[in-house]
Structures are given as C-alpha cells and as structure tokens.
Amino acid sequence: MSSIQKALKTHFGFDKFRSQQQEDVINAVVKGDRDVFVCMPTGAGKSLCYQLPAMLAQGITMVVSPLIALIQDQVDQLQARNIPACSINSKVPARERRQIFEDLERETPCLKLLYITPEMLASPSFQPCLASLCSRGLLARLAVDEAHCVSQWGHDFRPDYLKLGKLRSRLPGVPCVALTATAPQRVREDVTQSLCLRRPLSFSTPVFRSNLHYDVVFRDGLPDPYVHLHAFVKKALADGSAGQGCGIVYCRTRDSCEEVAHRLTRLGVSAKAYHAGLKAADRTEAQNDWMQGKVAVIAATISFGMGVDKATVRFVAHWNLAKSLASYYQESGRAGRDGLPSSCRTYYSPQDRDQMNFLIRKEIARTQAKRGSEKDQDKVAITDFEAMVAFCEQEGCRHATISQFFGDKKPDCAGACDFCKDPKLVRAQIEAASRLSTRTGPAQSKESRGPFGFDPELYAGGRKGYGFERCDEDWETNTEDDSEKRRKAFGDVFKKQMNIRKSSDTKETFVPPDADCPLGDASSQRIPKLTVKAREHCLALLQSTLDNHQGAAVSTDSSDTQTLAVEIEHKVFRSSKTANLYKATVLKRVAEIKKGAGEVVSPRVGGGETSNCNSHADGPPDSKPDPPSSPSTSSGGDFLGFTSASQIYSLKRKRVGAGFRGSSNPFQTAAELLRASGDQDTSGGSGAETEPADALRGPGDPAEGADGGKRWKTESAVAGAAVSSPEKAQPIAGAPASVSSPTKGVSRKQQKLAQAAKMSRSICQYFSKKQEEGSAPDADGLISMAEEDKADLESVCEPPGEDEREVETPLDEKPLQKEPHVESEDPPGAKRQRPLQDSRKRVTFDSNVQESKAGRAGARGVPRVQKKAKTLKEGAEGTAGVLRAPEKPVTLKEAADIVVHCLDPFYSQGKFANKDLFKSFARFLSHLLTNGRSCGKGQVKSEARSLIKRFFSSLPLCQSESDWAHLRATVGGANGTEGGAEREGDGQAA
Ligand SMILES: Nc1ncnc2c1ncn2[C@@H]1O[C@H](COP(=O)(O)OP(=O)(O)OP(=O)(O)O)[C@@H](O)[C@H]1O
C-alpha cells in the first residue's frame, strides 16, 4: 500500500479513491513539481485533492476559500477527523487567532491546513506571517478552492480573488492547486492566467452526473404549487434510502423560505426555514436539525449549503429561478452526493424570470456605475442567466444543456431528465405556459420589466437576497432582527430606483439605422421616441399592404411597391410631429391603400400625401384623427383579465391621433373622436376600415414600451371603441336625440358608431352590460375572464339587441348612465365633471343590493345578473389568487381608496404614476365593478398590490397631473366623492 493510500485510510477513513480522476489529481498534487488545475463535478471529492496531500507535506497548506461559512464547515469536518486545520478570518475570536499565529511562528507548526479568505490573505496584517512562513520554507502549497471566483467570466466573480495572482508572484517556489466544479473553457483559461499557474496539469471531468434527475415545472400553471411541491418532496424522500433522506428547497427571499417551510410542515413534511434574517442561534439550530435528520427539508436562501456536505440529500428544489446555469448546477449538485439517484427540480415562473432579469441588470448597472465603464465581462451575468432561462424554457435534454454550457459533449442522459423521459409532456407544458403568457401578457417579456414587479423582497429590503450579495459582511451583520433598518434600506433602494427610472425615462438612446436601411432620412431623430425599428416596421406594413392590394399601387412590381412604400413612409415621417401621429398616419395610409385599391396612392400623384384622400388636400396631413382599428384586433391589451381603461374611453388627447390640438381639455370621449372622424369623412376622408393598430407594433418601438405594445393597443382600442363593427350596429332604443339623431353629413354607419361610442365611454354602462353576459369564467379563472372581457368589449362596440338594452341598467340609479345624454353636448371638461355631480349614491358590491337594484331595473335582467354573479363567484373561488373567497363586500370607494393608497408611493407631483399602472388601476376598478360582488377588502388589497407588482414597470411615460386627477375624479365620481378618492393614509401603502 502506498503512503498516499495509507493516508487516505488513516486520516480520512476511505478505503479507496472515489474515482481514478481523484487519484490522479492527488498523485499530481503530492508530486508538487507543477501547478494543478482541477475541474470536477460537484460532489466528486475535490477537497480531498488538497487535503490528503496536505497531510503528506512538510509545512502548511494554505487554502483560499471564498466564504467564511464554507470555511467553517470544512474546518469542522477536518477537526472532527482529528486533522490539524483551522482558519483565520474576521469571525475567529482574537484569542484563538493569537494562538494560531503563535503556532505558525513555531519551528514546526502543528497546523497542516490553514483556511483563509482572499481578503485576509491580501490584508497587510497577514503579510508578515506569510513572509515568515515562506522564508522558513513552511508554506507547502497554495490551494485555491472555488477557483472560478477568480474569473470575471465566472458566475461568482470575487474581486479579491484577483489579488491572488500578485500574491503568487511573491511565492515563487510554492506550488498551487486550483479547483472548481463550474468552469466553462473561457473561465478555465482566465483562472489559469489570473492565478499565474505555471504550465499547469489540467484535470477536467465532464460535469454530467447520471444519478441526478432534472426536471422543470411551470409554477404558474399549478392549481396549488405548495401541494405540488409537497408531492414532489414525498416522492423524492420515499425513493431514497429509507428514513435517511432529506432535501433542500432553495428560495429567493426570506419570506418565501418561511412560507415554504410552513406550508410543507402543514402538509405533513417536517421543514425549517434557513436564512440570514434568522438569529444566529435559530439558524444553527435549523441547520443542525437538518443535518441530524430531525427535519427532512430545509427551505433556504442560497447561503445555505455552501460547504454543507450531506451525502443523503435526495432532492434539491428551486422554488425560484437560479441566477445562472452555473449556479444552478452547483446548487442542485448538492443532491445525491452519495451517488444514489436524486431529484433536482426547478419551479419555473416567467414572473420570477423577469424579476431576476431586472435584478441582474441592476447589479450590472451598479457595478458599471461604480467602475465608471463597461466591460465585456459584465454581460456574462446576463448570458449565464439566459442559459438558465433556456434550460427551463427549451425543449431539450436538461443534462445536455448543462453539459453544453460547460463545454462538454452531450452526455447519455438515459432518461435522467423530464425531456428525455417524456418529451411530449415537456412540450405540452411549454405550450400551456406560452398560452398563459399571451393572456397575461407582460410577465412574459424577456426584457427587464421593471424594477418593481414591485415586491419589496426583490430588493430584499436592502437585505441579503438571492445570490447577489454573497459577501461575509452581510452575513455577519444580519444576525439580529433589523426590521427597522431594513425598512429604511428599502426606502433608499426605492428612491434610488425611482431616480434611475426617472433619468432613464428622459434619456433614450437612438439606435442608428443599418447601412442598408431603405428609409428616407433614416438617421433623423426628428420625431422624439420614434425608433428606426418602428419606422422599418411601418414601412414593411405599408409595403405588404401595397403588395396585397396591388390595385392601389402604381405597379405590381415588388421593388416598385417598396419604393412607393418608402416614399409614403418618408412623407408621413416628414409631416408628423410625434411618434403617435406618425403611427396614426401610417395606419391611415394603410387603410387608404386597402380601401382605395385601384385608386392611386402614390404620394407622387396628386400632390398630397395620398391622392385619394381629398380631405387632406388643404390641411395638415395629421390634423384629423385616424379612423380607428377594430377592437377585436386591438383589444388584446388586456392584462390580468382586466380590460384596458382606454378601451372604455380615451384618457389622453395624444393617444387618439390628431384633430384635438386646439382642445384645452386633454381628455375626450370616443364620441368626440367619432365627431372628428365624421368631420373628416364628410369632407371626403376615408377610413372606416383600418389596419389593426397592432400590426404597427414593432419591435423596439418606444411607444410600445416594455409591456409589449400596450400603447399601440391603447390607441387603436380607443379608436376602435368608436367605430368598430359598424355593419352590424343597430341604433339603441331610447338613445338621446342629441347623439342618435344624425347630423347632416354623418352617415348612418356613423350614427351607429356614435351609439357604440357612447356605450363604450361609460364604464358603468359597459360593465352593467357585462353583467348580463351569460358566460361564466372557466377553471382558468382570471384568464378566462380576460377573454370574457375582450368579448364584452367587442360586444360593447356593437350596439346591443333588444334584450340587452333592457338590462343595460342593472345598477339602476348609477349616475353614469346619464352621461351619454349630455356627452355630445357638453364640452369635455363638463363631461368629466358629470359623474361627480351625479354620483352621490353609493355603488356597492354587495350582491344583495346589486341584485335588488337589478330587480327594480328589469325583471328580465335579474336572473342573468344573479347567474353571472354566482358563476363569477364560483369561478373566482376556484382560482388561485384572484378574488377567491367572498369576504365583506367592499364599496367602490373603499376599493379605490385601497388602490390609491397602494399607488401612492409611486406617485409624486404627477411624475411617477406610470402609464401602465394608471391603466391597470382603471382596469382594476372596472374589474371590481364587474366581479366585485364576490370580492372582499382583503382581496382587493392583495389584488391591488399584485397589480402594482406586475405593472410598475419600466414604461418610459409618466402620467400627467391631469391624468391622475382625472382618474381620481372618475373614481371619486362613481362614489360620490368630489375630487376623487382621498388619499389619506391608513398605512396600507406601507
Ligand atoms: N475517496 C473517497 N471515498 C469516499 N468518499 C469520498 C472520497 N473522497 C471524497 N469523498 C466524500 O465525497 C463527498 C464530496 O466531497 P467534496 O466535498 O470534496 O466534493 P467537491 O468535489 O468539493 O464538491 P463541491 O464542488 O460541491 O464542493 C464528501 O462527503 C467526501 O467526504
């Protein structure tokens, strides 16, 4: 038996090496004539590769390790084996440290392994000791654990590791061994270079671990994620060695650790939370209990597990997305270290992804701001994160994805992942998730949606979160309950975020066109917020319309249509002042081309922008509002099942295109819009048929914002409310003469549209109509409500049939009913005030009140209203998260107050009430009006918060003071509160 094998048995109690690789590495390290680089999978036994040689060497092996927690665990394990090892770090008491230094000064120190952080190693106070050891020839070896931390291309770069390179140059004859589990090729090269490894012997084993089964579950699609997790835990533990198994659930936030632990315990699995917010004693107790098998599951932030070497971990579940694929590999690799089959699962959620995305970008921005420059390496965090996302979202072998990420060949998975086991299931899950995402919309954007999916925990309230602040100081200072500090820290983070957003709102970088960009004046930035991409998109739209309606074009030759499209686009560009006007005009041109197939559209003919549009011959091309698009195509902007407020009536003049420049009031109704269209039409303008505005929503369009095109949709939807589906429209019986009587020159179609416009303008009318729709939400709850809302919106735009007219007033005395009568006569300002004057009565969500009112309103409507309320309630009760259990009914006023309070932190002097938030709020109120019967105060609150979470995103538009006032007036008006919902504090915003 060789001395190495003897030492293996004597000091570590192992009969043989774990693998040939391990033996080879140890032999090379013991030999000591060359530096060694080791890249072996998690749990492969890398530590032994320097620990065993340390026992055979003369002198001390200095081990650099990134975290005190990690060090402590290693030292404890070694000491438990009677191996003389200790650590010098800031946590070690002064007396103990003195003893260590005394030992190091001895001629023959007892210590064999000295663990140290890179910071301590580089600190001036340690240099005399280091120099002394070197000069006496007592520094046998330098081992750098977690060596990927040295690389800026690595997922866990630690700047202090960079100092090790310099240090090495001062230790000429001392061999070095660098070890990592997670190093793609680029990182390996970087580590070798940064640590000044001399002709290193490189040992690298594929990362594939066949005993780990990987799978991904889309969390949002689960009826109860905790129950799902519980089932997974039960199965994983049952599959493992009897009674011995345990597992880890990694969570991003402290609260989710607590929640997961609590839920699992309630469901019958013993679980404890572990995070830096716990007192040290509680944390130690949790860890010990888990180590000793007293609790089966630990729900922890990633600070847990580093250095925890437990062989029987049967599963590692990620409740939240890991920050990179490399981190994930490392974290999940804590399972199955005994080589037995174990499970690694990620509960994936797009919302989670977006939050993580934002945090990563924020972190990069912070680093860059600190450094004052950008580096290519900065992007690595993003690409590594994207690899993690791809791991979850793509159809493919999970092991292959990991292996490819680390530069290994595709392994033989042999069914050790969900995809290889059942690809159809994975595909179905992805498809279901993408369906969900198109309905819920913004959660799916790849872009950082904004700070605040607004969960204070995102910022961890300034606390240690998920993998971003892996520094020991944080760990040490968070031992006490510091909720006050945290609150303040969160406030600071919040303010900072606001400032960042504010400045990013104003600063927009213009992306120059490509060399072959066909646009005229392609690099002109004349129109603020109009990107080259958006223009190209419009151009493509124009050209495809010309191609498809060749009668409208001068020639059928496609190159000619392109030239023509370029000219039209350029002309529109030159004549538009704002991005919105530009887009509106493009839409108009598209409609004209379609309508006027056979007529000449070329701007070269006729002198105007379009020759068939004689209404524009004299005036500025954009001086009239564009004909709207069909709501059926533009109403897709619903989020969370709430119909866009703008689909009900317009909020801003500029959104509906030109034609209202002279108006002092920034708001207008669809009826006004229609009037303007009517004017236009009477002067010969066309435009009953338009291209869906959605068609214009191009990538990179600034007006589209981070939400994937809501603004476009808004525009078209506003317009659409006025003129959609005209052919089917029937006049409403009893409609006010002022509107229903056709004015001269206004076509019959437009009269019908006027009726539709009036209907859509009134929220109450809209929703009272909605009450009578018979369909109930399906099991998807909210999602199906979104569909339903969409359908309702469309039906609103079509005048109702006889039946429907009778139940249009289930909220009988509701003030807004009267609006249409005055709408067409009053100036816009008066219109806005109208609800305030008429709204002294309380609109409640008490189903009894509603139904009795509905009863008075019309016997025919009642059963349907009741049925609707009932089905909505039932549907909602079966739906996670949204308006579930009926609580004490809440009035609109109360609901508004709650929401306004929730919004308050984001609003200051008209600056930060973001457009999406604003719309969401309106949608939320609309939703309440529709479904509020089954909704209680608590639910309203949580719903409001969830809205804010989702919608406080990075759209670069701020609401104006007047918008805000209008919103408040609308809300207050519906409840009899002059001036809108008060914003007196009740602490809910906090
Ligand atoms: N030759 C061996 N025989 C049996 N067990 C071994 C052997 N070598 C190491 N082990 C055990 O394997 C487990 C994993 O070892 P170690 O912690 O060194 O892995 P690692 O490669 O450093 O993993 P990670 O990268 O996750 O830290 C430990 O429990 C260790 O005691």
d(CA 595, CA 688): 9
| Nearest residue to 770 (alpha-carbon basis) of 929, 630, 558, 594 | 929
- pLDDT value of residue 401: 94
pLDDT higher than threshold 80 for residue 545: yes
- 476's CB contacts (< 8 A; 6+ apart) are 68, 90, 91
Tokens for 593, please give them: 């081309």
pLDDT higher than threshold 90 for residue 315: yes
Tokens for 126, please give them: 């340690």
- Residue 50 CB less than 6 A away from ligand 1: no
Tokens for 48, please give them: 């032994």
CA-derived radius of gyration, the chain: 33
- HSE at residue 458, side-chain half, CA atoms within 13 A, is 27
- Residue 40 CB less than 6 A away from ligand 1: yes
Q: At what angle do helices 380-393 and 350-371 cross, to 10 degrees?
A: 170
pLDDT tens figures, 490-506: 556 556 555 554 444 44
- Residue 41 CB less than 6 A away from ligand 1: no
The H or E element that residue 316 is part of is strand 313-318
Higher-pLDDT residue of 114 and 938 is: 114
pLDDT higher than threshold 50 for residue 928: yes
pLDDT higher than threshold 50 for residue 20: yes
Atom of ligand 1 nearest to the CA of 309: 29
- HSE at residue 674, side-chain half, CA atoms within 13 A, is 34
Q: Collapse the DSSP code of 885 into the 3-class scheme (helix H, G, I; strand E, B; otherwise coil) and give the result.
A: coil
d(CA 347, CA 316): 11
d(CA 742, CA 725): 18
Q: How many CB atoms lie within 10 A of CB 447?
A: 16
Least reliable range by pLDDT among 4-13, 270-279, 556-565: 556-565
pLDDT higher than threshold 70 for residue 120: yes
CA 280–ligand 1 middle distance (angstroms)? 27
- Residue 950 CB less than 6 A away from ligand 1: no
- pLDDT value of residue 119: 85
- pLDDT value of residue 814: 32
CA 402–ligand 1 middle distance (angstroms)? 21
d(CA 369, CA 366): 5
* Cα 42 to Cα 16, 116, 146, 645, distances in angstroms: 19, 21, 11, 53
Q: Which of the four pLDDT bands, split at 50, 70 and 90, describes residue 978? A: very low
- Residue 311 CB less than 6 A away from ligand 1: yes
Higher-pLDDT residue of 717 and 225 is: 225
Q: Which of the four pLDDT bands, split at 50, 70 and 90, describes residue 464? A: very low
The H or E element that residue 248 is part of is strand 246-250
d(CA 402, CA 387): 9
3-class SS shares of the chain: helix, strand, coil, % to 5: 55, 5, 40
- pLDDT value of residue 432: 83
Least reliable range by pLDDT among 85-94, 242-251, 446-455: 446-455
Higher-pLDDT residue of 932 and 138 is: 138
| Nearest residue to 175 (alpha-carbon basis) of 147, 203, 195 | 195
Atom of ligand 1 nearest to the CA of 16: 1
Least reliable range by pLDDT among 162-171, 358-367, 412-421, 749-758: 749-758
Higher-pLDDT residue of 917 and 818 is: 917
pLDDT higher than threshold 50 for residue 52: yes
SS3 letters for 453-512? CCCHHHHHHHCCCCCCCCCHHHHHHCCCCCHHHHHHHHHHHHHHHHHHHHHHHHCCCCCC
pLDDT tens figures, 81-107: 999 999 988 888 889 989 999 999 998
Q: Which of the four pLDDT bands, split at 50, 70 and 90, describes residue 169? A: confident
For a ligand 1 pocket test, name from 209, 309, 330, 342 the mutation site with the most ligand atoms within 8 angstroms of its C-beta.
Answer: 309
Q: Collapse the DSSP code of 204 into the 3-class scheme (helix H, G, I; strand E, B; otherwise coil) and give the result.
A: strand
Return mean pLDDT, the chain: 64
pLDDT higher than threshold 50 for residue 911: no
Give the Cα-Cα-Cα angle 373, 377, 383 (nearest 5 degrees). 125
- pLDDT value of residue 860: 36
Can you tell me which residue has the tokens 């191009």? Answer: 698
Q: Which of the four pLDDT bands, split at 50, 70 and 90, describes residue 421? A: very high
Query: With a threshold of 0.90, does the pTM exceed it?
Result: no
CA 562–ligand 1 middle distance (angstroms)? 66
For a ligand 1 pocket test, name from 16, 18, 21, 182 the mutation site with the most ligand atoms within 8 angstroms of its C-beta.
Answer: 18
- Residue 14 CB less than 6 A away from ligand 1: yes
- pLDDT value of residue 943: 64
- 776's CB contacts (< 8 A; 6+ apart) are 867, 868, 871, 872, 874, 875
Q: Assess contact for 167 and 122: CB atoms under 8 A.
A: yes
Residue 599, class by beta-carbon neighbours within 10 Å (0-12 exposed, 13-18 middle, 19+ buried)?
A: middle
- Residue 336 CB less than 6 A away from ligand 1: no
The H or E element that residue 385 is part of is helix 380-393
Tokens for 522, please give them: 């392609």
pLDDT tens figures, 604-657: 333 333 333 333 333 333 333 333 333 333 333 333 333 233 333 333 333 333
CA 49–ligand 1 middle distance (angstroms)? 9
pLDDT tens figures, 194-211: 888 888 899 988 889 999
pLDDT tens figures, 743-798: 344 455 555 544 444 433 333 333 333 333 333 333 222 222 233 233 222 222 22
Mean pLDDT of 156-185: 82
Mean pLDDT of 342-350: 94
| Nearest residue to 32 (alpha-carbon basis) of 204, 200, 203 | 200
Report which protein residue has its CA nearest ligand 1's atom 31.
45
Complex ipTM, two decimals?
0.98
CA 338–ligand 1 middle distance (angstroms)? 9
Report which protein residue has its CA nearest ligand 1's atom 5.
18
CA 621–ligand 1 middle distance (angstroms)? 75
